[in-house]
A and B are shown apart, each in its own frame.
Chain A
Amino acid sequence: DTAVSQTPKYLVTQMGNDKSIKCEQNLGHDTMYWYKQDSKKFLKIMFSYNNKELIINETVPNRFSPKSPDKAHLNLHINSLELGDSAVYFCASSPTILAGVSSYEQYFGPGTRLTVT
């Protein structure tokens, strides 16, 4: 069974369009994340959600809107796509950070390669 899955794997679209990427995890985690990996392989966090509540929003344009219908899903909707949005987007999940716990491993999905033409 795939722990963290994303759909679609590849997405090619034109500037100005609106698109969504879906993410699902079956690990029972409470926290989910979206990362963007640019053409130089640099990875940067975009958002994190804990129990459907937005926790981290890292200066991402408001054209990007995450939506978490339940703990197991975190979808990413992008409006008015621009050339600079072309990247690989990774979803990840982890258990909730509790008192006395320093860190948990994040489990990553396979990525969605978005190409905007």
Chain B
Amino acid sequence: AQSVTQLDSHVSVSEGTPVLLRCNYSSSYSPSLFWYVQHPNKGLQLLLKYTSAATLVKGINGFEAEFKKSETSFHLTKPSAHMSDAAEYFCVVSLSNFGNEKLTFGTGTRLTIIP
């Protein structure tokens, strides 16, 4: 079985300050982990993914995440928040079998940016 827990349902930061969105995972196998972002009334877009290569993963728009096996964490960070970062963020764990991939989503963290 696999699951992810997003520790905060809502995070508010001021523009220009760092962002930290927390995610813990549980997986029976060596996991693939993703962060997806959903802007209001839009579909989901991949921010970054971890697939057992480098533990520090860089994504789009200045986001990065670090895979820590000892802590079973995959927290998302950004040094300086922009107004355009306001969105819903989903931490996702993947279980892959030949022919398909099953994603299990966290419950999401709404990021609000204060001007």
Contact = CB atoms under 8 A, between A and B. Distances in A.
Nearest to B51: A102
Nearest to B96: A97
A105 B60 CA distance: 14
B101 A111 contact: no
Contacts of A106: 46, 101, 103
A50 to B, nearest CB: 4
Contacts of B43: 4, 90, 108-111
B103 A45 contact: yes
B89 to A, nearest CB: 10
A41 B88 contact: yes
A101 interface: yes
B25 interface: no
Contacts of B105: 42-44
* Interface size classification for chain B: 20 to 34
Interface in B82-114: 88, 90, 94, 96-105, 107-108
A21 to B, nearest CB: 14
Interface in B1-51: 30, 32, 34, 36, 38, 42-46, 49, 51
Interface of B: 30, 32, 34, 36, 38, 42-46, 49, 51-52, 88, 90, 94, 96-105, 107-108
Interface of A: 4, 31, 40-45, 48, 50-51, 55-56, 90, 92, 94, 96-99, 101-106, 108-111
26 contacts: A31-B99, A41-B108, A43-B44, A43-B90, A43-B105, A43-B108, A48-B101, A48-B102, A50-B99, A55-B99, A56-B100, A94-B101, A96-B99, A97-B97, A97-B98, A97-B100, A97-B101, A99-B98, A101-B96, A102-B94, A103-B51, A105-B34, A105-B49, A106-B101, A108-B43, A109-B43
Q: Which 10 A-B pairs have the closest CB atoms?
A: A103-B32, A43-B105, A50-B99, A108-B43, A108-B44, A55-B100, A102-B51, A110-B43, A41-B108, A97-B96
